[in-house]
Amino acid sequence: MRSKHTPRRLLFLVAAVVLAVAAQPASAIKVCTYNALNFPNDYVERVDAFRLVMDEIDADLIVLQEMETWQSANLFRDDILNYSVPGEYRRMPFINGPDTDNACFFKPDVLDSLDYGYLDTGVRYTTWYKFRPDGYDSTQTEFVILSTHLKAGSTSGDQAQRLEQTTIIRNYLNTYPTDSNFMMAGDFNIRSSAEGSYQMLISYQADNDGRSKDPINTGGTWHDNYSLRTTHTQSPRVDGGSGSGGGMDDRFDFVLVSYALDDDDGLSYVDYSYVPFGNDGLRLNLDINDPPNQIVSSAVADALYTAADHIPVFLELQLPAKIEAATAIDFGDFIVGATAEETLTVGNVPTAPAEDLTYSMTTPSDFGAPGGSFVLGPGEDNDHAVTMDTGSAANRFGNLEISSNDLDDPTWYVNLSGRVLEHASPSLAQLSIVLHSTLDFGSHMAGAFSDETLSVYNETFFELQALLEVYDATIVEGDSRFSFVGGFSPVTLGFGAGEYPLAFDSAGAVEDSTYTATLTFYNRDDQTVAGATVLNSLVVTLEAHVLPGTSVPDDPVLAMALSPGSPNPFTAETALLFSLPAPEHAVIEVYDVSGRLVITLVDGSMPAGANRVVWDGRDSHGAPAASGIYFCRAQVGEWHEARKVVLLR
């Protein structure tokens, strides 16, 4: 049961002191003020003590009072702060005033220094330093810390001088914009919150922009007051030596904050992080190390006793929320009707203690994301399913917007893009869908059949169409006489044709017989694209007629014959069989429908028997002939015969 004389807030302060000896989250900014007692006087006796105390606190930003010279500040930086980790701290520019001075040190990997200056506050200058957390850009993340050492003493004259000093400070702070982030730190030498100099800093005024507040809200008469003993910062020793003594009985050292720095919004004071370092609440009018200290080690307590006649005070500032997310999501290719979904991870970068990230998402047309508002604690992240409409073929793109309380990036853009493709379209023709066809090898004597070529197309292929995979084929029936030249090979088709040479094996075939087989091509969409499926098969009937063996009729004229072209119609070439009962001089020519000679195929002696004559659809100059009807005319002496063929391009 707690004593009725101990304010509840002070119990939390004691708890904060106890927690201060544990490791602190790296994200929070630890700010420390310390009166270094005319540093570097008695340097040899005090240097090790300062090293241990400052290492134990491990502050990110430090303001010191009672520095003798700029060389003193450099010595504190190099031989104390950077003793364990060289280069860890930098010093802000030193301003030399009429008495002892302030110094400021910071970790450059935590804070960016922006500006500095001073106020002429009479007895000693008050200096100010402006910073921004590293990795942030918004002016709303900037803050100023003022370091001051007010007039010492308890007489009315001393109090009047302190009031003059704090009036100058308050008037200066009132020039700051509304809701500015600032802290007022240092050795105030004030014994009671009722003193006018203190009220000047914390009271309401018509121009209230420079008003400060005590983050632990612990007012009253601090001097020699048991109920406020956990706030005391002077003196850690009864025997003051070269400094003040009397034991722990005054709250002289403060860190006050602006109201904007204590609103839990953005950069803000972390509740219960205010710590008079080493004060365990058992020190009233006693040494910091005797009796044994309950919250710091005996070595640290001894160092606090030796280093100075004040103990340090520190607090922590939470970092503002900071969004982390991808800046672009490329869905890639999907076929119409497939499910297109990608994961967008949204994170809050700083670790606890830090501000929660609050955000919502707005998607462009053709895309979708969860609605509503989301909250992420420090160091947390959320995975969100972002979808793309695949109802029709199109190039899709747009910006997803994440609106949040991130001061640097209140609107975060994620570029979304993807393609939706039509299914591939297998066909035996290039410009129309043909699923069934016939390939006629023609009528020839055994051994006189030529290879034929069959073409497969991805019909009317265009940019927003999937590639076609012709992945398998079978030929059935036909006495196994039809085959792919060189075997079947799968192809993937966009533009252009898949060419398949086919052969008919007439060896040993039955004369005057027709052979028929069924060729089937098996097709599917490009399997690397989501939504791919098996497509229509293409079926081709293969035919070949084997003519009967050669016999010479009694009438030589009747024995001459010119067979029809095969195939007919044709696209690449057609073959005619010209039969002669005896060797003859023959002329075979091709004419168009106007009677114009296109090409002479034969003009010379031909042997007896079945002679195969091929026209490749070209004229006498080697140029492709136009589509149309042509006549192949054979002549031997007075005998002649013509056959009509149709060329298709």
Q: 143 with 266: CB under 8 angstroms?
A: no
Domain assignment present for residue 2? The answer is no
Domain assignment present for residue 410? The answer is yes
Assess whether pLDDT exceeds 60 at residue 6: no
- Would you put residue 287 in left (φ > 0), alpha (ψ -120 to 50) or beta? beta
- Whichever domain contains 176, its CATH number is 3.60.10.10
Q: 404 with 323: CB under 8 angstroms?
A: yes
The answer on 205 and 156 residing in a single domain is yes
The answer on 311 and 177 residing in a single domain is yes
Domain assignment present for residue 597? The answer is yes
Q: How confident is the model at residue 13 (pLDDT cuts 50, 70, 90)?
A: very low
Burial of 545 (0-12, 13-18, 19+ CB in 10 A): middle
* d(C-alpha 127, C-alpha 147), whole Å: 5
Q: Is the dihedral of CA 77, 83, 89, 90 positive or negative?
A: positive
Examine the fold and report which residue of 487, 520, 546 is the final residue of a domain before the chain moves on.
546
Q: How confident is the model at residue 27 (pLDDT cuts 50, 70, 90)?
A: confident
Q: What mean pLDDT do residues 209-218 have?
A: 97
List the structure tokens of 372. 């509503």
Print the domain residue range for 454. Answer: 426-546
Of 151-155, 196-200, 371-375, 590-594, which range is least confident? 590-594
Q: What mean pLDDT do residues 462-481 have?
A: 97
Assess whether pLDDT exceeds 80 at residue 21: no
Domain assignment present for residue 5? The answer is no
The answer on 464 and 407 residing in a single domain is no
Confidence (pLDDT) at 399: 98
Q: How confident is the model at residue 604 (pLDDT cuts 50, 70, 90)?
A: very high
Q: Which residues of 120-157 are buried (b: 16+ CB within 10 A; e: fewer)?
A: ebbbbbbbbbbbbbeebeeebbbbbbbbbbbbeeeeee
The answer on 258 and 333 residing in a single domain is no
Examine the fold and report which residue of 376, 392, 421 is the final residue of a domain before the chain moves on.
421
The answer on 285 and 377 residing in a single domain is no
The answer on 262 and 125 residing in a single domain is yes
Place of tokens 């790296």: 26
The answer on 344 and 308 residing in a single domain is no
Question: Which of 413, 412, 411 has its CA nearest to residue 399?
Answer: 413
- Whichever domain contains 396, its CATH number is 2.60.40.10
The answer on 155 and 282 residing in a single domain is yes
Q: What mean pLDDT do residues 313-342 have?
A: 97
Examine the fold and report which residue of 359, 389, 421 is the final residue of a domain before the chain moves on.
421
Q: Is the dihedral of CA 201, 20, 35, 241 positive or negative?
A: positive
Q: Is the dihedral of CA 303, 307, 308, 313 positive or negative?
A: negative
Confidence (pLDDT) at 84: 94
In one-letter notation, the amino acid at residue 261 is L
Domain assignment present for residue 6? The answer is no
Angle subtended by helix axes 43-57 and 298-307, to nearest 10: 130
pLDDT tens figures, 49-69: 999 999 999 999 999 999 999
* d(C-alpha 526, C-alpha 533), whole Å: 8
Confidence (pLDDT) at 530: 97
Q: What mean pLDDT do residues 632-640 have?
A: 92
Q: What mean pLDDT do residues 606-633 have?
A: 92
Confidence (pLDDT) at 552: 37
Confidence (pLDDT) at 548: 82
* d(C-alpha 30, C-alpha 63), whole Å: 12
* d(C-alpha 599, C-alpha 632), whole Å: 10
Q: How confident is the model at residue 411 (pLDDT cuts 50, 70, 90)?
A: very high
Which residues contact residue 42 at a Cβ distance below 8 angstroms, ignoring those fewer than 6 apart?
242
The answer on 290 and 414 residing in a single domain is no
The answer on 371 and 434 residing in a single domain is no
Domain assignment present for residue 23? The answer is no
Rounded to the nearest integer, the mean pLDDT of the chain is 92
Per-residue CA distances from 126 to 34, 148, 346 (Å): 15, 5, 43
For the chain, the domain total comes to 4
Per-residue CA distances from 366 to 326, 328, 360, 400, 445 (Å): 19, 16, 18, 11, 64
Domain assignment present for residue 1? The answer is no
The answer on 181 and 39 residing in a single domain is yes
Q: How confident is the model at residue 18 (pLDDT cuts 50, 70, 90)?
A: very low
- Whichever domain contains 560, its CATH number is 2.60.40.4070
Assess whether pLDDT exceeds 70 at residue 599: yes
pLDDT tens figures, 285-306: 999 999 999 999 999 999 999 9
Q: What percent of the chain has pLDDT over 90?
A: 87
Confidence (pLDDT) at 7: 34
The answer on 169 and 64 residing in a single domain is yes
Q: How confident is the model at residue 445 (pLDDT cuts 50, 70, 90)?
A: confident
Q: For every residue of 554-621, which 3-state class applies, written as one string? A: CCHHHHCEECCCECCCECCCEEEEEEECCCEEEEEEEEECCCCEEEEEEEEEECCEEEEEEECCECCC
Question: Which of 237, 234, 239 has its CA nearest to residue 252?
Answer: 234
Which residues contact residue 553 at a Cβ distance below 8 angstroms, ignoring those fewer than 6 apart?
559, 581
Cα dihedral 57, 62, 63, 65, rounded to 10, equals 40
Confidence (pLDDT) at 320: 96
List the structure tokens of 590. 């091709």
pLDDT tens figures, 569-592: 999 899 999 999 999 999 999 999
More confident residue, 20 or 245: 245
Place of tokens 């070439």: 573
pLDDT tens figures, 516-554: 999 999 999 999 999 999 999 999 999 999 998 633 344
Secondary structure of residue 301 in the 3-state scheme: helix
Q: Report the DSSP pairing between strands 584-592 and 597-606.
A: antiparallel
pLDDT tens figures, 82-104: 999 999 999 999 999 999 999 99
Domain assignment present for residue 44? The answer is yes
